[in-house]
Structure 1
Amino acid sequence: MDFAHSERAADYLVEVRRFVRERIEPQEASVAAALAAAPWTVPPVVEELKSAARAANLWNLFLPNHDHGAGLSNVDYAPLAEAMGASALAPEIFNCNAPDTGNAEVLVQYGSAQQQQDWLLPLLDGTIRSAFCMTEPDVASSDATNMAARAVVDGADIVLNGRKWWSTGIGHPNCKFVIFMGVTDPDAHPYMRHSMVLVPLDTPGVKVERMLTTFGYFDEPYGHGEVSFTDVRLPLDAVIGGPGRGFEIAQGRLGPGRIHHCMRAIGLAERALELACRRGLSRTAFGKPLVNLGGNRERIAQARIAIDQARLLVLHTAWLLDTKGIAGARSEVSQIKAVVPRMTQEVIDMAIQLHGGAGMSDDFPLARAFTGARALRLADGPDEVHLGVVARQELRRYQDS
């Protein structure tokens, strides 16, 4: 097992880091101001940066498929995702933002030629955005078998009914389609009941009921919405991969996606630690630099150790995904999803404390970063579900012997 970056990954990493530092981070404040004035819009500088990133060949780096992406493995892409995670603005600039990455992976692996032509190519072109509709407000969505929404085959059509929420990206002005997951055959095996359906957002019966806040933030311009589907009728060829394959597709989607989430979170933790160190060295209280007060040096040391531990665990998981697939990395994928968001939340909290009241304001990116890290402990499955997977995999080693 060798975690040294390949030559291609190392070259990309230099360029991505430079682009984030020199082009994206200087625009964060102006983009935030523009969104405060007009929340559900795309500031012109965002499209300018996207064009520049594409011209620099820093585009669709997440896709291992050579026809559509950079052809990087999970291990190669992981450090690039970390570099992008340092800025909330960066992933879209490189056309590597969730949930578009996961939706693109689904369409690459399972989409029909027509679905790829109509929706995948514009998504990879960066001209449209998308959302994923799985979580529901009226059931405990930590157990996906509780899903109540329906995707019922009716002759040559499929009819959707249900209500979804925390549908990330639904507020983006360029969001043009969602992937909807619903029950097709309630009597089938629990993992063969569901279907994923590609739904153009302008289909009759689809309604964004409201946008949800997270700790007071709308996360504009992407947002997280509650969406209703009322007798939404689509041709059967809108089903991705065919009826009954929803769970299979979901499992394939979530492995690499969790690598992406976790490495971006590590990049966020790195930026928080940097801000904490700079603040601690530049501010004085009671005649001493802040870093020399109240155990702050130890907190900084613990943050460095925790970040590096988490990174190694994610890289190991990425290596397992590359070499053994999701079946050989099931425990590790859940391990990183339980460990990394919590670590990131703790590092950001430490940085907020060193910044005092300023850390809770939008003068620094820490408050929004904390919100994102805390939300990630629920997104793609809560901590408890992932810890349950790890325990089950661990106990199985002894039950079978």
Structure 2
Amino acid sequence: MKGRGLGIMLVLVGLGLGATLLRDQVPTGSAQPAAQAPLNESGARLQNEQNTIDVVGRFEPGLVFISTEDVVAQDPFAMMFGAAPDQVRQGLGSGFFVNEAGDILTNYHVVAGEDGQGAADRITVRVMNQEQSVPAEVIGLAPQYDLALIRAPGLAKTLIRPIPLGDSDALKVGQKAIAMGAPFGLDFSVTEGIVSSTSRQIPIGFSATGGEGGGITQKAIQTDAAINPGNSGGPLLDSSGRVIGINTQIYSPSGQATGVGQSAGVGFAIPINTARSLLPRLQAARGQVVGAPDLGVTPGLLVQSQGRVLPVGLSVLSTRGKRELELPDRGLVVGAVRPGSPAARAALRPGTREEAFRGGVIVLGGDVITAADRQLVDAFEDLQSVLIDRKEGDPVTLTVVRGGQTRTVQLTLDASAFRVQGR
């Protein structure tokens, strides 16, 4: 994944990455250790240690081990020449129960199909102390948030153990964080650390249709609790045993060289409040995709980068060029406005003429969005990050520059803002 202003590689975890376990070969000698009195383990336990034991014992049964299988079709003509038949790709990840109905929250990339479009062909789940996996079905997918809701209808009600949800907005740096999941397929594993940051801005997710790119810069929880491939979708808990986040990504310098992400003590989790606000829409999705709010604006400043056309903000242009075009120093150029959208109803003005320059094109004559609800906007993802946790009926205040004059535009997020375009 890539992110503006984030010069590190974020490696998505939980996509079926394997591991080899090696036993250290340690030479042994014949010397006998001096006799020592046995330790009083129960008396030596620290309060923090006992708290972790209690949290794990009470809430680990709510953890779910997720396995996926996806059939990758081969070229039918190649099979005529002895090529291998269709292959089955397998994936591993984690999830957890959020209610008594058996809804399981996890990452979208844990259950996504190999082609990045929709869910994998087969999803199964296994709960603690059970040997058999049970088929699961998709209730709702939210690629842009990297979240998904699944359910296993055949699972016995007695095995459904919801983990209570906490309040990620109330988190403090330094709080204890307990990560549960299945690193490298080692299901029902636990690690412990602290909350390192409560508002780390990183790109999370995929396009609205599930393809590569399209991740939205979101606020994430940073933790040093060890998170590795397979931990994705698992819960991050506080000392009271409440879920404060959903483990989603890691910073992995080694992954740049090997292609396999490994924990470097910097992991990221989606705040549980983001997931909580999305739950009603996921539960009502009937297996379909839930999209992030969309005002109906198409960016009007595009540049060529590594063979692709990317929307960018005015900050990438030279000061001289912006002065000549009478544009502000930064902002999102409105290239087009979708009819019937919240932007159209608020009379946001699209561009009227197009000008090409070396390496790109800009649409002029329309509005330039410089802020949304008092948060500065330059790139399209800045606007999306402001809207990411909004719901239908919420008002949004835009600051726009029109004809060299700054004005305020009020709009409301209606049902059209939550339709996934192109589906």
Q: Which structure's residues are more often helix, by fraction?
A: 1
Larger radius of gyration, structure 1 or 2?
Answer: 2
Q: Normalising by the residue count of structure 2, what TM-score does the alignment of the two structures yield?
A: 0.22
